[in-house]
Amino acid sequence: MNFFRVGKYFTLVDMPGYGYRAPQDFAEMVEAYLQERHNLKRTFLLVDGVVGLQKTDHIAVEMLEEFGTPYVMVLTKIDRASRGVLLKNVLEIQEFVKESTQGCFPQLFLVSSVEFSGVHLLRCFVAHVTGNLPTVEAS
């Protein structure tokens, strides 16, 4: 797990490689973290836009649902997927969220770090969830 302090506002925790390259004890480590972090505001499940939901994503969702951890799905690498593949994966995820989840935020975020599309909206959501949206004072 990699911890990134975002100013003095919040900490972002990155859990890379929970898929096929994950260490053997990764599931136990994540499970313990999710159960013990009572100040956890939101979990972001990153799904590859080219390949869609995988078995490991389903396992992650089961874990989040079991622990009652609120989470959001983020479809990444949307610049690499053809429109047809992207549409198929978006529809599959939307149907999965509707039929099989309770703790998932219904809005799916589509992002590309290469083209930077969708990143601003996701950042705004993170700022909102963490209580860090700046307020505008009336003059």
pLDDT digits (tens, 9 = 90+) for 1-39: 788 888 888 888 888 766 556 666 777 777 888 888 878
In a domain, 60, yes or no: yes
In a domain, 80, yes or no: yes
Report how far residue 85's alpha carbon sits from residue 108's, in angstroms, rounded to the nearest whole number: 16
For residue 93, what are the domain limits? Answer: 43-129
- CATH number, domain containing residue 54: 3.40.50.300
Report the domain count for the chain.
1
Report how far residue 34's alpha carbon sits from residue 44's, in angstroms, rounded to the nearest whole number: 12
In a domain, 118, yes or no: yes
Report how far residue 36's alpha carbon sits from residue 30's, in angstroms, rounded to the nearest whole number: 10
pLDDT digits (tens, 9 = 90+) for 35-66: 888 788 899 999 999 999 998 899 889 989 99
What separation, in Å, do the N-terminal and C-terminal C-alpha atoms of the chain show? Answer: 44
pLDDT digits (tens, 9 = 90+) for 84-99: 999 999 999 999 999 9
In a domain, 59, yes or no: yes
Kindly report the pTM of this predicted structure: 0.86
